[in-house]
Chains A and B, each alone.
Chain A
Amino acid sequence: MQSQQEFRSQTRTWLEQNCPESMRTSMVQQEVVWGGRNAEFANPDSEIWLQRMAQKGWTCPTWPSEYGGGGLDKEQAIVLGEELARINARPALNSFGISMLGPVLLEYGNHQQKLEHLPKIVRGEIRWCQGYSEPGSGSDLASLSTKAELQGDNYLINGSKVWTSYADKADWIFCLVRTDFDVPKHSGISFILFDMASEGVSTKPIQLISGSSVFCETFFDDVKAPASNLVGRLNEGWTIAKRLLQHERTMISGFGLSAGQSDNGGTTSTISSLEGTAMDYRGDSKKLSDPVLRDQIAQFKIDADAFAHTSKRSIEESKQGQGPNATSSMLKNYGCELNKRRYELMLQAIGSQGLGWEGEGFNDEELQLTREWLRSKANSIEGGTSEVQLNVIAKRVLGLPDILSLAQK
């Protein structure tokens, strides 16, 4: 058995030799690598970095090596994370396959499904999207009505999804479908995978208040998905759906981390130091001249510090346990609210220069900030609203009685 010290020194050496220089700088939005059939590499070094990391399985360090993962234990994965952070290495690959689908496939998928999908996620060959919310099913996700009927060896899928992030760019979808309409809503849902290139799939981007459109409407019109693509058992998809949400919430909670501590990575904003920016725009040298803003920034940074420690503690605690649990709702909620606070303070910090929409009179960072501020408003809606997270904490962590289930009885 290799000692941790050896592992660290070997990892350090490997990273020194294999991480391209330009990958050791803070991420810029245009250069984030999502992979997929039509992968784009705005920076050619990103492609080299992805290939090298994928070959080691280090895009998914703890996944078993038989499925292409790094096969590391949690201790080693933490060491790898620390060594990556040490050289400020960019994430080689960003994907919903890594953060959401992969972990639940490992837990609920059959061997064939793991063998087919996991290695492609590790290598960034297939880009996944998430078919969860529907026009009539937002916070009440389990009321979804997209229908899947078994016809021979295939399921025939009809219905539509909304808020499907990057549906227009994704290759495959993991999708919640209703396979039984005659039972209580949670008991008739299944979890299925299919190719977005299938006949009958169409997508339409949704323009947000930020002007951009990562979200889509997604329509299924007699889409055929092989029956073997059903993950877990028929009508038992809700359990998998909830598990995946915990992983999603853990991922989103990371938004809060970048807030106070740039070394924790995460956002793509080029503006990093809130207090530094506030002072620059006021021409202050030693002390921020606006005492109220100064106090608010201090309070924010203190919360961000405490949150970063909490996030770290939760990782340490999960070493002994079973990965994310209901506390992921707490992290998601707090992280998102922090990130929103951060953008509001950033707007205050740069005043009217933070309110430009386009064109002359503003630099690129300022214009990007305006858009990111607006985008951040979705943080506490996507992946379950803050209100839903508070419901989950009350019910699952504090064990308070659930008035909704009382009402349904």
Chain B
Amino acid sequence: MALVLSEDQQLLKDSAKNFCEQNAPVSVLRGLRDSKDEQGYDQMIWSQMIELGWAGMAIPEAYGGFDFGYGGLGVVLEETGKTLVSSPLISTVLVGATAIVQLGSETQKQDLLPKIVAGELLIALALDEHTSHKPSRIATTATKIDGGYCLNGSKTFVLDGHIANRLIVVARTSGETDGEQGISLFLVDANAKGLNVARTIMVDSRNSSNIQFNKVAVAEDALLGELGQGFNGLDSVLDIARIGIAAEMLGSMQAVFESIVEFLKQREQFGVLIGSFQGLQHRAAEMYSEIELCKSAVRAALAGLDDPDTTQAEIAELASMTKAKLSEVFFLVSNEGIQMHGGIGMTDEFDVGFFIKRARVAQQFLGDASFHRDRYATLNGF
């Protein structure tokens, strides 16, 4: 399991870095926020990302993808994290495509994956129902009806819910509200009758929504994966997504840290550069160390995903290790990003504020540090 990037991955990373710096700097997100953009992402930039092949990165060639693995998608996410690119890359490519690759029938894969690669289909995962992540706690029901199922319930924190063409809905076909048994996944058309999507304006200026399902009817073939046995598959999709989001967080925290170090080298007080103060030096050195650990965790987790010998249990452990660690360190670095920049760090004009806002959303998404420490302990038998 290699922890350093391959030559191909390094080339991809360099080109992604270049693209994000040139075409999608933080000012793009600022513009989307200030103009209260309806879509919440820049469609021209997204089209360019599609052209670069980013949507097919981790999709097998048989379905029109480029089979570059999660190591490839991971370095792209790391770079988009550095400039806080707002795009359907996470909802559709990292989560949506992964769910279809992992759980879809041959027909579903043939039908949907090429459309994702071509940028013709946006997908959103409707999972969470409460203020904190717990994927087995599902009250939304899918009742058997003639020719299909009927969905009732409500979802929250659905990324890109208001722009998606298709939703992947986690619902309960049997069992207790808090159980892993009886969970099923459904592909639901965004135009389905009884579906009510309300966009929520989040602190990080990215897309999210609350969705209500009021007697939404879907056909038999809307089922994604096994009936009533969806939890394990869902969890393995979520693990991949957790690792991918950690890669994005890695990029974001590096951007904040770079900005801090640069500031320490140019800001003068008391007649000297503030970077010569040991109180600040040690905090910077400790952050550097923590970020190095984050980098290793992310690389190890991505390499684990691309290694066919890694078991699902090992991936689960890697995912929780990585998401917990990255959440803690992004919390630290984003806070220090404000404090160590002083007054300017508090201004909206300066970009670091966008990062602390993104940090809190990314920390929460698919389980915060506390969720993943608990899960890690359980996975390790204590």
Contact = CB atoms under 8 A, between A and B. Distances in A.
A125 interface: no
A41 B163 CA distance: 72
B99 to A, nearest CB: 26
B276 A302 contact: no
A399 to B, nearest CB: 7
Interface in A365-409: 387, 389-391, 393-395, 397-403, 406
Contact of A399 (B3, B265, B293, B328): B265
A196 to B, nearest CB: 37
A316 B4 contact: yes
B325 A303 contact: yes
Interface in B309-327: 320-321, 324-325
Interface residues of A, number: 44
B293 A295 contact: no
A312 interface: yes
B382 A294 contact: yes
Contact of A275 (B276, B321, B325, B382): B382
A402 B276 CA distance: 6
B30 interface: no
A57 to B, nearest CB: 28
Contacts of B277: 403
A333 interface: yes
Nearest to A279: B382
A287 interface: yes
Contacts of B378: 287
Interface residues of B, number: 41
Contact of A394 (B4, B285, B296): B285
Given A305-B321, A402-B276, A393 B293 contact: no
A288 B276 contact: no
Nearest to A399: B265
A278 B261 CA distance: 41
A153 B342 CA distance: 61
Interface string B90-129: 0000000000000000000000000000000000000000
Q: Would you list the 7 A-B pairs with minimal beta carbon distance, nearest first?
A: A394-B281, A275-B382, A309-B296, A393-B285, A313-B3, A403-B276, A310-B296
Given A313-B296, A333-B289, 13 more contacts: A275-B377, A306-B321, A309-B3, A309-B297, A316-B3, A330-B285, A387-B282, A389-B285, A390-B282, A394-B284, A398-B285, A400-B276, A400-B281
13 contacts: A295-B370, A302-B373, A309-B293, A309-B299, A310-B293, A313-B299, A316-B2, A330-B285, A391-B282, A393-B289, A401-B273, A401-B276, A403-B277
